Amino acid sequence: MANLSFSDKQLIESVFDMSSGYVINFSNREFEEFMKDVVQYNIYAKYPGLSKAKMFREFLKDESDTLVGKAIILLINHMKDANLITIDKNEKTEKLYELGKRLLGKSNSKPDNKKEVKNTSESLNIDYDGFNTSLLDLEKISNSQIRGYEFEKYLNTLFKAFGLDPHASYRTEFDQIDGSFVLDKNTILIEAKYRKNSIPKDDLILFSRKIKLKSHFARGLFITYSLLDNKAVDYFTDRSSRFVVLTVEELFIMCQNKTPLIDVLHKKFRLLDERGLIYKHVMNL
């Protein structure tokens, strides 16, 4: 359940015009499609027979800070794109946007960490806001093939910005590799899946085999839009795996918090080496 005060809920109600049963200006179909970009289920199936406003209120009660924060940010971005933010609502909207960022974890960073991140960002000159905007723009692409291609380009640009010497996707005689980069002088192979269906265990097994067919030193990063099933994560625990998983949601949070990608990767691979875990959410690292 999201950590929202009464005044937070009132602010959400006001900015998103929920008093009449609506959420902003969404039709039923538009609201259904929008919420599918936030969560991996059909909100109309989960909360049948309710108005859009009532469904969203139930969503606020049931879901985590991260998902609620993501929904708030995306809804406000939609309002900005559609020029729906009036002068009298501008101050409230900015306040709600800050709430969305807080729910995503920005305000939970320790002061020392903030200072360290700031120095790292300045030395690398990372445009976190630009990467965040580009990531959100990917969700607007309806064609899955084009979206996947643009996602690979996004990742190549992201890794290049952090000085990770990325290589674009390529095909060998036996398989397709979505790209690679170099971390601490080790080559990391990439598997990128920007699709909304859940990732089956077999996809992870196939990627694991790809890595093992390369050199003994190659490792992998599986990047996915969909969240992983806990059973798939458990399957690979303590199996001498050579890859870790990063979700698009984590990239979104990383951009919001201005967290260096290199720091996230170091923590994930250390967790793999120490505890045999291929995945742990960035907020819990």
Could you tell me if 165 and 130 lie in one domain?
Answer: yes
Look at residue 185 and tell me if it is in a domain: yes
CA distance 39 to 277: 24
Could you tell me if 127 and 219 lie in one domain?
Answer: yes
CA distance 203 to 153: 21
The per-residue pLDDT for 240 is: 83
Residues in the chain: 285
CA distances from 7 to 4, 88, 169 (A): 8, 18, 48
Backbone angles phi, psi at 275, to 5 degrees: -125, 0
Contact indicator for 72, 99 with CB cutoff of 8 Å = yes
CA distances from 67 to 3, 106, 128, 174, 259 (A): 11, 14, 20, 39, 19
3-state secondary structure of 197: coil
Identify the domain containing residue 100 by its residue range: 6-108
Boundary residue ending a domain (62, 81, 108): 108
The per-residue pLDDT for 182 is: 93
Could you tell me if 156 and 235 lie in one domain?
Answer: yes
Look at residue 99 and tell me if it is in a domain: yes
Boundary residue ending a domain (60, 91, 108): 108
Look at residue 74 and tell me if it is in a domain: yes
* pLDDT 10s digits, 17-33: 999 899 999 999 999 98
Could you tell me if 129 and 44 lie in one domain?
Answer: no
Instruction: Please tell me the total count of domains within the chain.
Output: 2
The per-residue pLDDT for 52 is: 95
Could you tell me if 203 and 263 lie in one domain?
Answer: yes
User: What are the residue ranges in the chain where pLDDT is below 50?
Assistant: 107-122
pTM, two decimals, is 0.60
CA distances from 118 to 27, 45, 63, 127, 257 (A): 41, 43, 30, 12, 10
Look at residue 104 and tell me if it is in a domain: yes
Instruction: Provide the token pair at 221.
Output: 């990063």
CATH number of the domain at 156, please: 3.40.1350.10
Boundary residue ending a domain (108, 137, 154): 108
